[in-house]
Amino acid sequence: MLITQLDSPSYTGLNHSNPLEVKQYKDNSSNYGEVPFKAKKDPGNSWTFPIVTGHNYSGHWGFGNLDFTSMTLQLSPKWQPTDRDVILALNFTSKRE
């Protein structure tokens, strides 16, 4: 999965009224961090990635044919009810024949 912070200065500093500029940012893989995919063989041995509270993120699965129907996110035991909100937007594409 590729993930980027949408409230970072490099994104908020874009001219958002120019769709080409935003598209070029989103198409540039150097603007994303990568979370390597791990097959779900043992949920106790699943993959993790940090998300800092108080920020907005966008993630997508890159290119290819991933075939799964669900994903589970779990809060860290270190999370506190007083922590700031997080917005995490993930794409969903339903391919039809």
CA distances from 80 to 55, 84, 85, 93 (A): 16, 9, 11, 33
Digit-coded pLDDT (tens) for 31-81: 888 887 676 666 666 777 788 899 999 887 766 556 666 777 888 888 899
Closest alpha carbon to 26 in 51, 64, 60, 76? 60
Range of the domain at 15: 2-90
Residue 84: inside a domain, yes or no? Answer: yes
**15-31 residue pLDDT tens:** 989 999 988 988 888 88
Number of domains in the chain: 1
* pLDDT value, residue 2: 84
For the whole prediction, is pTM greater than 0.85? no
Q: Please report whether residue 96 resides in a domain.
A: no
Residue pair 87/57 in contact by the 8 Å Cβ criterion: yes
Q: Going by C-beta distance under 8 Å and a sequence separation of 6 or more, which residues neighbour residue 94?
A: none
